[in-house]
Structure 1
């Protein structure tokens, strides 16, 4: 469990340990040990697919990897932070990953990504397709 440190016998767990447990999720629910989920928000509007991911405390230039393969966007990030106060030092680290299918026709080669205030925004153009009804003639043989 991330955020856990040794305590003297009889000391209650620190509030930061409880928050660290909630941030890491319920133990045993992750499919890969040491891999954590990323909270995301998705929207498809005006010919653009936009994904926003919460990734506070990372350096996007060296801690984030974005890939698009076969219509699936995969986001991987690593975080390592250290908190020090008067009585102890605490390390928090982990690998975070999330894969999402892109809408049909998404142009992954034209995707862009921006990072601001702990939020990574990925934009992928999705050209609008005609969804009209087409009549198909039946040939007789």
Structure 2
């Protein structure tokens, strides 16, 4: 004689729970701008946007090129290197006045742009340089050569 056992189905997960977990893991794995992407939109200061950047290696130098058109680099851009991170902050302010048909329209726009990037191991923070040309901020970060691993040494084993 056999007995029948009641099988209970596993509790169903709310819709999109698995997808939410996958997306959260993916965002946490991103090396760039992680703190901005994971911060809820409501927690971001009004008018704060991400700066678009391009990173590449030029020999032993990390080159970061950031799009900052229409910004006065001497007055409106801060480049800070601290704690193994490169932070670029920029402020944008424009003011326009249009007069036509006896009407005046005055527009004022303000915004803050930011980007924080991790620097490679062995970065010499004191040698970082930045230049601005044609709306592109270029930050050059010298990177120390990584020490090569010592050659493999075979150790003989003897019987005792």
What is the match of residue 65 of structure 1? 78
Between 65-74 and 77-86, the greater mean CA deviation after superposition: 77-86
Between 54-63 and 82-91, the greater mean CA deviation after superposition: 82-91
Q: What residue ranges of structure 1 are gaps of 5+ in the alignment?
A: 1-27
Deviation at 1:62, TM superposition (A): 1.2
1:32 matches 2:30: no
Alignment of 1:1-141 (within 5 A): 29=41, 31-34=43-46, 35-86=48-99, 88-132=105-149, 134-135=151-152
Q: What residue ranges of structure 2 are gaps of 5+ in the alignment?
A: 1-39, 156-160
Deviation at 1:83, TM superposition (A): 2.9
Q: Deviations over 1:81-128 (max 9, x none)?
A: 123334633222111111000111111110000001111000010122
| Paired residue total | 113
TM (normalized to structure 2)?
A: 0.61
- Aligned mates of 1:62, 1:75 — CA distance in 2: 13
As a proportion of its length, which structure holds more helix?
A: 2
**Cα gap change, 1:58/1:133 in structure 2, threshold over 3 Å: closer, same or farther?**
same
TM (normalized to structure 1)?
A: 0.69
